[in-house]
Structure 1
Amino acid sequence: MKKRGFEVITAYQDKAIHLPKRATKNAAGYDFEAAEDIVIPAIWKQIIQHFSKNSAVAEKIVKPVLVPTGIKAYMGQEEYLQLANRSSNPLKRFLTLSNGVGVIDSDYYNNADNEGHIMFQFSNFGLTDVQIKKGERIGQGVFLPFLKADNDEAVIERTGGFGSSDKQ
């Protein structure tokens, strides 16, 4: 019986994706790699390029970039996978997780929209664009239990993928 772990999503089966793994025996986090090359544009560059043309456009153009991993995670119903940035990303590359911390719920696994594809959401507050290469470590995931409040009455089933609970 499977307890918790990772699988490669169908769309990346033939792309030589590595499953997340811990770097050392006492590490809490499983290191995730980028599934493809991607550029994270500098927000300052985007603002300068677009602000002079139309300030409304500037507000919409400066948004996070989703970096695909090609990975999905399975876990127990009262667990979640917490996504965290690598400590070196802000210091050396000016990359931050736009959402602070990512939360992958157990019912995200194999959802109908994207099969549970885990992506890291980055913003680049540096002055130059950052190139992320396929196979480069981009973040880490930690499996954690969570507690429910007294009188918790949540009964709605997940019907979609990324951001689907916004519609409920």
Structure 2
Amino acid sequence: MKKRGFEVVSKYQEQGLKLPVRATKSAAGYDFYAAEDFVLPSIWKTNFIKILYLLWHKKPLRPDAVTKAQKTLKPYLVPTGIKAYMPADEFLLLANRSSSPLKKGLVLPNGIGVVDADYYNNAANEGEIFFQLVNLNITDQVIKKGERVGQGIFMPYLLADQDQGGLTERTGGFGSSGK
């Protein structure tokens, strides 16, 4: 019986994707790879500095400037083509690779990602894992298919004494539990 591991999602079955692997025998994290070539735009392409300056000096912002900045500053979802299965009392923690911010200026905007056990093959979503990344470099960064984009670590979790019963089943994909 399978306990925890990775599978390729159906969309990428014939693409020859590499399943996540640990780089060394003592590594905690499994390296994830990009499923396709992907361009991550630099946050510096817009008038990001100008907006920071205006915010710092409490000056009014034009709505179109805010909209443009929000579109550019948003994280991009880099597809891996991989889904993960695990016991119900575990989650997969997604993290930066230590070299990603140094080499390419790529970071997870919230520091980590959490993939719950019920994200795998639920009714409305196959469970593909994406790495949410922001490019802090001054130039756009091209991520090539097969290039490492982050790492995942299987982790157990504990429940509080006051854990509520009657929780619903997951019915969607990325971000679906935060409605």
TM-score, normalised with respect to structure 1? 0.93
What amino acid is aligned across from residue 114 of structure 2 in structure 1? V
How many correspondences in the alignment? 166
Match of 1:56 among 57, 66, 69: 66
RMSD: 1.8
The offset of 1:153, in angstroms, is 1.1
> What is the identity percentage for the equivalent residue pairs of Structure 1 and Structure 2?
61
Does the CA contact (< 8 Å) of 2:91 and 2:117 recur in 1? yes
* Contact preservation (8 Å) 2:119, 2:125: no
Query: CA separation of 1:24/1:64 partners in 2, compared to 1, >3 Å: closer, same or farther?
Result: same
**2:170 maps to what in 1?**
158
Counterpart for residue 140 of structure 2:
129
Residues 149 and 37 from structure 1, CA distance in 2 versus in 1: closer, same or farther, beyond 3 angstroms? same
Give the structure with higher Rg (CA). Answer: 2
How far apart in 2 are the matches of 1:117 and 1:20?
Answer: 13
C-alpha displacement of 1:99:
2.4
CA shift digits 1:51-84 (9 cap, x unpaired)? 7992132233121110000000000010000001
Displacement over 6 Å in runs of 4+: none
SS of residue matched to 1:134 = coil
Indicate which of 117, 122, 128 corresponds to 1:117.
Answer: 128
Does the CA-based 8 Å contact 1:112-1:161 persist in structure 2? no
Tell me which amino acid in the other structure corresponds to 1:4.
R
Task: Please give the alpha-carbon distance, in whole angstroms, between the structure 2 residues aligned to 1:4 and 1:72.
Answer: 11
Gapped regions of structure 1 (runs ≥ 5): none
TM-score normalised according to structure 2 size: 0.87
